[in-house]
Amino acid sequence: MYLQIDSNILTIILIVFFSAILIYLLRFGLGYMMKRNRSELQDQPLKTITIASCINNDYMLEREFREGDFIGKIDGLCPKCNSNIVIEKIYVVPLTVKETKEKR
């Protein structure tokens, strides 16, 4: 009787122990992955740049990406010839690289 209760308790303890380890490993793994992703993003802040130019190629504009920007979108009027300014390129640059390159 005593022995049976003991072995039952032992089994329960073992099950609880193993599931605790499993949960811990799962949480640790997920946490590690999320932390890694976050730190990678923090290490390399990105900036999206939009390049738009006049259809007559006499004016070019580089600015930060705004929501709704797409290639081919008319982005206003050229201050020189009053023609349409069309978005040509949209690209992402790491902020850190851009900062070090910006030596005028």
* For Zn ion, the closer CB: 29 or 79: 79
Please tell me whether residue 19 binds Zn ion under the rule CB under 5 A: no
Strand partners, 50: 63, 90
| Nearest in space to 94 (alpha carbons), one of 39, 34, 48 | 48
**Residues from 48 through 87 that contact Zn ion (CB under 5 A):** 54, 56, 58-59, 78, 80-81, 83
Nearer to Zn ion, 11 or 56 (CB): 56
Burial class (CB in 10 A: 0-12, 13-18, 19+), 40: exposed
Of 96, 98, 101, 91, the residue nearest 50 (C-alpha): 91
Nearer to Zn ion, 80 or 98 (CB): 80
Quote the least distance from Cβ 54 to Zn ion, whole Å.
3
Residues in the site for Zn ion, rule: CB under 5 A? 54, 56, 58-59, 78, 80-81, 83
